Structure 1
Amino acid sequence: MPLDPATVRVVTDSTACLPAAADDAAPVVVPLRVVSGEEAWREGVDITPEEVAARIAAGERLSTSQPAPEEFASVYRDLASQGARAVVGVHLSGALSGTVEVAASAGHRAMIPVQAVDSRTVAMALGFAAQEAARCAADGHDAATVAARAREVAASSTTVFLVDSLDHLRRGGRLSAPAAAIGTALGVRPILTVRDGRLEMAQRVRTRKAATDRLVELALRSAEACARPGVAVHHLGAPERAAELADRLRLGTGAEPVVTPVSAVLGAHAGPGALAVVVAELGGPSRAGSR
């Protein structure tokens, strides 16, 4: 069905870790790539997080790459042909990837106006921002308001995660070598966070149980400050631990957590066993206001 001619559409990328959605107004997802040697696979299309975990466990070294400009240009053309009058792109942190720059560059040559928003975050912190932006667009708001809503939700988010090894993040350049060395040398479980668009070491604890407990504590503290918290749990090859974590957060926050595997691209950097929690404010003045 053609879109309303005033429609603003939202585009995001696959690192948003969004659950499957049948809603025609949901964000359009452009896949990043997982790379091994001369081969490259579009995540969510050619390769799954489970396959990434298996390849890493087998000793394969993976890297990642952003979409080509033509991939964004093709999406923008399709949306314009469906009747969209403007696009708001909400993408992972520009400090971690050049994806938002590619999206913006493609947008300069698009048939319709495109605003590319650097969310300064990733995973469902990005996903919640894109979903709320899409809801804002569906409510009939203009592109500037939709982009502002995306920035508002992204800025409200807290993302914390733990990994079994820091080596993947160090090799991919997402975590400094000194920070990775500290975590490894002390034999601790590092808890990482996204701060101002970059990955940083937040805390160090001695055991996986203590690290998981700390994830819950940090998430509950963030949720307490939210009028309407959005909660998400991600994992790579650890569905049982993710389900247990989601149960604890459901009881503690009253919100129904979104549980999805970490995206294949993020999994290539985090490695098997990764576990993450995201909390974002889904209430607030922009959502509460009516048009």
Structure 2
Amino acid sequence: MPKIVIITDTDSSLPVDLAQKHHITQVPITIHFGEETYTTGVDINDQKLFEIVDHRKILPTTSAPPPNAFVNAYKEAFENGAETIICICVSSKISATFNAAEAACELFPDKDIVVIDALNLCMAQGFMALAAAEAVEKGASKQEVIQAVEDIQKRVHVFGALPTLKYLAMGGRMGKLAAGLADTLNIKPILTARNGKLELLEKVRTSKKAEQRLLELAVLSTQGKKIERIAMIHVNNQAGVEKLYQQLCEMIPCPPHPILADFTPGLSVHAGSGVIGFVILTD
């Protein structure tokens, strides 16, 4: 194990194989259907989440990992030879995960642990964890790894489109009548990550126009810049996001091998099934 270990949480949307390749530990977000608790990446994924939601007609609640989950991750890293831990958490503006990771540090008063608030989510956070792990692989110092994370924070662009508002209505974030009317009118919300939160950017009519608007936003956010990395994000809609990537490549120069990533349950429960989007890292 490297002397500097990178830890994040599953709201990073990092594919498991990619996290394993770079020795990144992901502490899971938990999902609660009443008394039943599921753990992201262990016994629930986006597909199973919405199978349960559509069957029971209710949305679950989510919770940040408890401090003990981070205690266990820190303990394992130190037992395996780590000298420093850098933990990159989903935005503190949408989750208590950062607070839990910091609280866990109190049990390791003599250890070197740095907890970073990504102030972002999904693969924007995932790109930070990847940059940190790659810096470690190149022999970077602790400060250089932290600088690599902070550098990514300024260069990520997150956009997505919702195919339906019914899940927002189920979660109480929108009235059922208004959501039903919006779906009847074929209104598709466009989302972006802004100020540490996933926010509504605008609304358009029809899925085709939503896809077109996502492409326009990609062009606008990359004007005069080179795309270093791109992650295509979806919730149970791999075909839709692969099509979006092909359309994107026709409009701007894209890296040949995008990361294809599930949004993951801790985030997708708030957006709904069918979401497509992307996270772009520019130079």
Length-normalised TM-score, structure 1: 0.86
2:269 maps to amino acid:
A
1:40 maps to amino acid:
T
- Name the structure 1 match of 2:101: 103
**Structure 2 residues not aligned, in runs of 5+:** none
- Name the structure 1 match of 2:194: 195
- Name the structure 1 match of 2:43: 46
Q: Aligned in 2, Cα 1:49/1:26: closer, same or farther, shift over 3 Å? A: same
Name the Cα RMSD after superposition: 2.4
- Name the structure 2 match of 1:12: 8
Instruction: Give the superposition deviation at 1:108.
Output: 3.0
Q: Which moved more, 1:243-252 or 1:95-104?
A: 243-252
1:21 match: secondary structure: helix
Counterparts of 2:22 and 2:197 in 1: how far apart (Å)? 30
Instruction: Give the superposition deviation at 1:67.
Output: 0.6
8 A Cα contact 1:57 1:272, kept in partner: no
1:233 match: secondary structure: strand
- Show CA shifts across 1:101-129 (max 9, x none): 11111123225211111111111111111
- Name the structure 2 match of 1:213: 212
Q: Aligned in 2, Cα 1:195/1:225: closer, same or farther, shift over 3 Å? A: farther
Q: Which moved more, 1:268-277 or 1:20-29?
A: 20-29
1:141 maps to amino acid:
A
Instruction: Give the superposition deviation at 1:66.
Output: 0.8
Instruction: Give the superposition deviation at 1:167.
Output: 5.3
- Name the structure 2 match of 1:162: 161
Q: Aligned in 2, Cα 1:152/1:82: closer, same or farther, shift over 3 Å? A: same
2:193 match: secondary structure: strand
- Show CA shifts across 1:222-260 (max 9, x none): 234433421111111212111111222344323122112
- Name the structure 1 match of 2:135: 136
- Name the structure 1 match of 2:27: 30
Q: Aligned in 2, Cα 1:106/1:275: closer, same or farther, shift over 3 Å? A: same
Number of residue equivalences: 275
- Show CA shifts across 1:42-61 (max 9, x none): 11111111101212222132
- Name the structure 2 match of 1:289: none
Instruction: Give the superposition deviation at 1:77.
Output: 0.9
Instruction: Give the superposition deviation at 1:172.
Output: 5.4
1:253 match: secondary structure: coil
2:36 maps to amino acid:
E
- Name the structure 2 match of 1:92: 90
- Name the structure 1 match of 2:18: 21
- Name the structure 2 match of 1:82: 80
Find out whether 1:230 has 2:229 as its counterpart. yes
Counterparts of 2:274 and 2:157 in 1: how far apart (Å)? 20
Counterparts of 1:24 and 1:235 in 2: how far apart (Å)? 22
2:222 match: secondary structure: helix
Counterparts of 1:26 and 1:226 in 2: how far apart (Å)? 30
8 A Cα contact 2:19 2:25, kept in partner: no
- Show CA shifts across 1:43-97 (max 9, x none): 1111111101212222132111111111111111111111111111111111110
Identity %: 27
2:31 maps to amino acid:
V
Counterparts of 1:143 and 1:224 in 2: how far apart (Å)? 33
Q: Which moved more, 1:260-269 or 1:65-74?
A: 260-269
Q: Aligned in 2, Cα 1:23/1:32: closer, same or farther, shift over 3 Å? A: closer
Length-normalised TM-score, structure 2: 0.88
**Structure 1 residues not aligned, in runs of 5+:** 284-291
Instruction: Give the superposition deviation at 1:141.
Output: 2.0
Q: Which moved more, 1:226-235 or 1:62-71?
A: 226-235
